[in-house]
Structure 1
């Protein structure tokens, strides 16, 4: 994997927030901050994530190009800084990803979705046979992960990002904390204020959850949703928003084609999207099982998963979800 550009200073080996969420936030009313493009653009690190992806294997690109085309961003997250940070230290077989998310932004720029694919999903990995989907990054880095997801979903990936959930602590603290709705001890729910460290502990927990890793995925999404809500509330606080965008761009690692101009155009185009217009969900799964070699795996519900991804590929997700509410694991208002 070819390393394209690196900040001249020593940067933290982490990526910050899910790029799709960042763009939606920026588009919500603080796009003016892109006026300081020199400093913000200089903060970001880029890699040639698509360098080894064979064009002949890729899903067809939409006929419409530019700001009126749908956009799909593959986002990888990890608790391990080395596996989600500086791409120059990636080593084959050394890293796997803890979170895999497909961010879909509709062509009409009225809705968006964040679809988490369970990391233990048992899928075909081109050239390696069947394995857990997060092994694709271990086997071949970003290009193989992109190839694997495109082959699995039939959705063409436009951009790629590396994230680290530990970095969410810095982002959360730059906003003076967030509020996440959780069950109340006496029943019902309560909005709980959390610092970055508290939110990280909340998002990392899985052993005490009845639904294990699936619950962990929802907690990660709930944290993302809380960050979006806080930014929306504080968007007129210039000092806080400047600190937030600085923290994001200082850590994010994206593909080299995700240029600053592309981000700015996208941010402006999604300015009318609110938090209520973003659907957070987990890819449909049939349950857990054991592979032939004894690994604990997640079995995707292909009867539901495939039509869902076809709707994403055709940019028909809102109408599909409205017509098929059953079997869709959409993030609830209250997470366990």
Structure 2
């Protein structure tokens, strides 16, 4: 009896020092899952690093600290991936001189649901009407020129009702060197695309493209039937190509390629209070086949103050924003197949 009392007293004294069980259990489960995936994964297991590239994760993430990153990937990292849904804002810039001459010609919200089941690439038209405090009515691609990254972030947050947890500025010129570092990108075009800048015609079908060709493709708008809507889908197709190539190369664990990408100019990442390594680990959960492009399929134009603007579908857009806010994109997609990118 005396020994039992002594044992109870000892356990009581140390009980407060014991770690909480739930976080420990989750960490053990995550560790076991990652080890199982390492034993059974195919070469596409790290495919969603394509989104990480587009969000500057491997490019800017460990600038000056690539070795630490690779070491953390090769062993079990103590850094936990963030929980809950995440929204990562991608701004594609066709920069022409000063920031006041820059427009975010590609505006894409990458939604990562809490269950880690997919990544949704939600594109917004560059000419979408929006109200900027202090500037009045303008096109959403002008919010960047008026207020920089914060202005663009706030415009998208006001539009969607969700918080942008991280923002990446990606200049179109940066995609050339990134593509070349990866040895080209596979891109599938549903129809031929003629370049208004070079006169070149890119044929229908799937083929590998060079860095110069990818950068040229992403600048096309006026020669395509649906203008910037088609360019938004081109941007999504390039991301899918990045996903496939990154999977083939197992890029997330390729120290040499990550090191080369780290020197690419024209890509800047703003992560706020997110852990950079944790964000990369979270992105690594998603398989390439589960990256889903979402964009409006048709025009909805309006004229205001002598200027033509685009607006979102008044029936579908509220459901899209509700799905982003409620983390129910998996329910939105089958109800609106015409909004989903088809390969």
- 8 A contact 1:24–1:271 mirrored in 2: no
User: In the alignment, what sits opposite 1:106?
Assistant: 113
| Residue ranges of structure 2 left out of the alignment (5+ in a row) | 1-47, 69-79, 193-202
Matches within 5 A, 1:73-112: 73-80=88-95, 82=97, 90=99, 93-112=100-119
Distance in structure 1 (CA, Å) of the matches to 2:312 and 2:191: 32
2:130 paired with 1:117: no
- 8 A contact 2:96–2:102 mirrored in 1: no
Q: Structure 1 residues 245, 104: closer, same or farther in 2, change over 3 A?
A: farther
Matches within 5 A, 1:212-227: 212-227=227-242
- 8 A contact 1:126–1:147 mirrored in 2: no
Residue 177 (structure 1) shift: 0.7
Matches within 5 A, 1:85-234: 90=99, 93-183=100-190, 190-234=205-249
- 8 A contact 1:121–1:298 mirrored in 2: yes
Per-residue deviation, residues 267-310 of structure 1 (Å, max 9, x unmatched): 223433111111112246642343322x2321211321121011
Determine which of 64, 67, 70 is the counterpart of 2:82: 67
Q: Structure 1 residues 288, 247: closer, same or farther in 2, change over 3 A?
A: same
- 8 A contact 1:180–1:191 mirrored in 2: yes
Distance in structure 1 (CA, Å) of the matches to 2:191 and 2:323: 37
- 8 A contact 2:129–2:139 mirrored in 1: yes
Distance in structure 1 (CA, Å) of the matches to 2:299 and 2:217: 26
Q: Structure 1 residues 19, 139: closer, same or farther in 2, change over 3 A?
A: farther
Give the SS at the match of 1:157: coil
Residue 26 (structure 1) shift: 11
2:294 paired with 1:281: yes
Distance in structure 2 (CA, Å) of the matches to 1:184 and 1:214: 14
Per-residue deviation, residues 141-184 of structure 1 (Å, max 9, x unmatched): 22222222111111111111111122111111111111212358
2:284 paired with 1:271: yes
Give the SS at the match of 2:311: strand
2:324 paired with 1:312: yes
Q: Structure 1 residues 19, 298: closer, same or farther in 2, change over 3 A?
A: farther
Aligned residues: 273
Distance in structure 2 (CA, Å) of the matches to 1:193 and 1:66: 33
Give the SS at the match of 2:131: strand
User: In the alignment, what sits opposite 1:330?
Assistant: 340
Q: Please, what TM-score do these two structures have when normalized by structure 2?
A: 0.69
Q: Structure 1 residues 317, 245: closer, same or farther in 2, change over 3 A?
A: farther
Distance in structure 2 (CA, Å) of the matches to 1:214 and 1:129: 24
- 8 A contact 1:20–1:103 mirrored in 2: no
| Structure 1 moving runs of 4+ over 6 Å | 23-27
- 8 A contact 2:95–2:101 mirrored in 1: no
Determine which of 247, 251, 257 is the counterpart of 2:261: 247
Q: Please, what TM-score do these two structures have when normalized by structure 1?
A: 0.71
| Residue ranges of structure 1 left out of the alignment (5+ in a row) | 1-17, 43-64, 84-89
- 8 A contact 2:302–2:310 mirrored in 1: yes
Residue 189 (structure 1) shift: 5.6
User: In the alignment, what sits opposite 1:321?
Assistant: 333
> Which has the greater radius of gyration?
2
